[in-house]
Amino acid sequence: MNHNKHFFGKFQKLQLNKIIQTLTYSDSFVWGGYNMMNTVVAIYLEHKIAVNPLEAIAFGFSIFMFSRSVFQIPIAQFLDKQKSYIDESVAIFLGACLMSLGIFSFRFIIFPWQLYFIQFLIGLGTSINLPAWRKTFANFVDKGHEGVEYSLYDVIICISIAFFSSAGGYIVSKTQNFELLFTLSAILIFIGGIISLFLLRSRKISS
């Protein structure tokens, strides 16, 4: 019993510094919102795109991954040249905004080319968000507590994704309203972007 109390006492003392907290909360909404729609979007697209929907969905995902990957290094190189982390904070926000816009635009898809453009846009937003977020997290994680803080981040993100994914499936099953789902997902991602701007309040970010 005493051993259990000691364990939970140590667990309760685990905490993230303010910058890591802000990054974690931001990602919780960004990736929670993204996966909220991503788990069911194929069902929606299968009925919206009349011509080879499965082929279009697969190709659209390939475009997303290509867009996500090809722009990351140039963006990372640009961010590495900046002395302060203001640029990273703004990049996290801008990336989330592009992702949010792309998710919201799913409601207007009729033709495959529209899906491809939207997936490109979401991939571009991701390629802006990821290097900025990862660079900031890596530089402000507390030395000697890297494993714990990365683990706490991952636990929070996984719980967030699990919750929002379930919520997305529940909303669609009860309302049959995918447009509502895309709107909610876009709002969550945008909130994640807004949260990242709180980084600008930290002197460590602007110094």
Q: Is residue 178 part of a domain?
A: yes
Q: Is residue 28 part of a domain?
A: yes
**Is residue 143 over pLDDT 60?**
yes
**Is residue 14 over pLDDT 90?**
no
In the chain, the number of structural domains is 1
Q: Is residue 150 part of a domain?
A: yes
Task: Check: pTM over 0.85? Answer yes or no.
Answer: yes
Range(s) of the domain holding residue 20: 16-206
Cα–Cα distance measured from residue 146 to residue 168, given in angstroms and rounded to the nearest whole number: 32
Residue of 128, 93, 140, 108 whose CA lies nearest to 44 = 108
Domain containing residue 110: CATH number = 1.20.1250.20
Q: Is residue 1 part of a domain?
A: no
**Is residue 10 over pLDDT 60?**
no
Task: Over range 38-43, report the average pLDDT.
Answer: 88
Q: Is residue 148 part of a domain?
A: yes
Using CB atoms within 10 Å of the CB of residue 152, give its burial: 0 to 12 exposed, 13 to 18 middle, 19+ buried: middle
Q: Within a 13 Å sphere around the CA of 92, how many CA atoms are in the beta-carbon half?
A: 29
Q: Is residue 121 part of a domain?
A: yes
Q: Which amino acid, 152?
A: L
Look up residue 172 and give its DSSP letter: H
So what's the pLDDT on residue 145? 87
Task: Over range 19-26, report the average pLDDT.
Answer: 95
Helices assigned H by DSSP within the chain: 2-13, 18-38, 41-48, 53-70, 72-80, 86-105, 112-140, 146-175, 178-196, 203-206
Residue with the bigger pLDDT between 155 and 15: it is 155
Q: Is residue 9 part of a domain?
A: no
Q: Is residue 111 part of a domain?
A: yes
**3-class SS at 102?**
helix
Going by pLDDT thresholds of 50, 70 and 90, the confidence category of residue 13 is low
